[in-house]
Structure 1
């Protein structure tokens, strides 16, 4: 069970709580919000409210959501299977490991009713005639942002799902990411920590709160190591000990080094442009066209398999990311 806490912005217009929560919580349905409200899982200023309650500026909202039941059974049943080419790295009777491409949304949600990874997974299992496969009882245990590429593990049964969830909750699953960030990091390696939560000025974006506002976010930890330096850019390896929304992206923004072409966090603009030569400016403009999304890739994943013990999976940097790295090496190394 996870608890989400939101302090309503002072400029927020009065709207129904279900509409407010739908726009402020990723991948939650109106149906699920209504069920949580009726069951007393939604509190405003520490009091239960009815589903027609209207949010007011500076209200303090708390909502408890199950880590396992992202959608209810009926909503999973209503997902229409779609034939989508999936890059399956590994599959057995308990788990499936997929290399998700950039641009693919993992889970259905508002504005993403079709074409998601889950739509493709449902088709994949139906096509294999797995009659006992239940998407509601199995499925996702973690996610990647739409424009982040790389490895995801999906459970194929209820036992595997709970088994993997326990590892995520106890932080024993190891995940390595590769990122290209703007600027030249001072240290060769380091740890970024802080309380991460939704930015009050833009609810689609995450931010790190100051110590006196820690209650607005959740504690997050990212370990990083510099792999290569390209004068104006740094190529890093990241290991996350917590898996918060936009964690790596928000952490490096906090350090003043947004990810290359991360438009939500300011990485779609040339960093230190005034110090760049015209030649370098044109070079970066070309690179931004070649890599038209944030430079972030989940390169490896390690966990304890429900039956087979410890396993490790790796998928190389995708072509768009790889080309930009190669061009940077030619120019700056």
Structure 2
């Protein structure tokens, strides 16, 4: 059965003459990405004065009328699932949620359903205008399955394009709270280290030793120690753990986890980048035992996306969202605060 379509028409001005067809249409059609238009051209959905144009590089002719037949979006492959969401904000263009631990963002091996995409497909039924021709939410950034906190998704293609541009140019405020083993020295600073897939384990990311050779992707994390807990070495003031705020200048896979481990303070509970679970503490008594046990038993990386701020890509309103610490991290911090401060 033929999919229903809607048509867009544009007449090329003298200044448009000679431009690539896909470039011209992307500038004229604000609601469609260049990659989407390129696919439509290749599919024969674009005509010039009634004649099909199938070459995205074809030079535009001044005065010619170009028509784009845009098919209605097809149903997404993942199934909608009625999964409760903690919605912080929603309008016709985008939705901001506070993601719980244990929820993957996308379906993947080991997480075929129960993901944020499944939940959004159900929650936003009838509201998705189609991202790249598919009825789906536009995911422009991710947080790990076991990481909690604020995440934004687009419901329309203009919002998806706008959010993607904001993340690409790093015009986003992103602050995370992390509990680390030990405390960073100095107490605040910047980690500016390229990241790439580990050559020893392709599931892990690693700091690149020779970025000048063109390996890896630039990654910058600004950190600030907010609070320290306990003491780990006799005769020193080295803390056993710390609450650290991390602000992202870039957003690479596992960036905070790798950068914090790189400076010697991996996240408590991190199963991949922490050398072992728990914290080293001195002292004695129930406070020591409670703090040690809480850190050792923490079942995930202690990381929470606390703040997300950006300019709404359609309405241009300044938006900023904060998600409170989840209960498990609050309980961990409460236990660490009972660690003895001296031997």
What do the CA deviations read for 1:234-293 (whole angstroms, capped 9, x no partner)? 1111100100000000001111111000011125423446x676863663223332x311
| Residues 195 and 214, structure 1, Cα contact 8 Å, conserved in 2 | no
Q: 1:215 Cα deviation (Å)?
A: 2.6
TM-score by length of 2: 0.70
State the partner residue of 2:104: 105
State the partner residue of 1:320: 328
Q: Gaps (5+ residues) in structure 2?
A: 1-72, 230-238
What do the CA deviations read for 1:270-323 (whole angstroms, capped 9, x no partner)? 3446x676863663223332x311100000100000204211111100000001
Structure 2 vs 1, CA of residues 131 and 95 (structure 1 numbering), >3 Å: closer, same or farther? Answer: closer
Structure 2 vs 1, CA of residues 277 and 210 (structure 1 numbering), >3 Å: closer, same or farther? Answer: farther
State the partner residue of 1:49: none
Q: Report the Cα distance in structure 2 between the residues aligned to 1:206 and 1:277, rounded to whole angstroms.
A: 37
| Residues 261 and 269, structure 1, Cα contact 8 Å, conserved in 2 | yes
**Structure label with greater radius of gyration:** 2
State the partner residue of 2:31: none
Q: Report the Cα distance in structure 2 between the residues aligned to 1:209 and 1:107, rounded to whole angstroms.
A: 27
Structure 2 vs 1, CA of residues 303 and 131 (structure 1 numbering), >3 Å: closer, same or farther? Answer: closer
Matched position secondary structure for 2:197: strand
Q: Report the Cα distance in structure 2 between the residues aligned to 1:317 and 1:212, rounded to whole angstroms.
A: 35
Q: Report the Cα distance in structure 2 between the residues aligned to 1:90 and 1:282, rounded to whole angstroms.
A: 37
Q: Gaps (5+ residues) in structure 1?
A: 1-72
Structure 2 vs 1, CA of residues 251 and 93 (structure 1 numbering), >3 Å: closer, same or farther? Answer: same
Q: 1:120 Cα deviation (Å)?
A: 0.4
2:127 to 125, 130, 145: 130
Q: Report the Cα distance in structure 1 between the residues aligned to 2:279 and 2:176, rounded to whole angstroms.
A: 22
Matched position secondary structure for 2:203: strand
TM-score by length of 1: 0.72
Question: Does residue 300 of structure 1 match 2:307?
Answer: yes
Matched position secondary structure for 2:268: coil
Q: Report the Cα distance in structure 2 between the residues aligned to 1:174 and 1:223, rounded to whole angstroms.
A: 12
Q: 1:112 Cα deviation (Å)?
A: 1.6
In the TM superposition, structure 1's runs of 4+ consecutive aligned residues that sit over 4 Å from their partners are 131-138, 275-279
Matched position secondary structure for 1:151: strand
Q: 1:139 Cα deviation (Å)?
A: 1.4
State the partner residue of 1:207: 206
Q: 1:194 Cα deviation (Å)?
A: 0.8
State the partner residue of 1:80: 79
What do the CA deviations read for 1:207-240 (whole angstroms, capped 9, x no partner)? 1011367533111000001100112001111100
| Residues 128 and 135, structure 2, Cα contact 8 Å, conserved in 1 | no
Matched position secondary structure for 2:251: coil
Structure 2 vs 1, CA of residues 89 and 301 (structure 1 numbering), >3 Å: closer, same or farther? Answer: same
Aligned Cα RMSD in Å? 2.3
| Residues 175 and 301, structure 1, Cα contact 8 Å, conserved in 2 | yes
Q: Report the Cα distance in structure 1 between the residues aligned to 2:252 and 2:211, rounded to whole angstroms.
A: 20
Structure 2 vs 1, CA of residues 278 and 251 (structure 1 numbering), >3 Å: closer, same or farther? Answer: farther
Aligned residue-pair number:
257
State the partner residue of 1:236: 244
Question: Does residue 167 of structure 1 match 2:166?
Answer: yes
| Residues 138 and 160, structure 1, Cα contact 8 Å, conserved in 2 | no
Matched position secondary structure for 1:330: coil
Higher helix share: 1
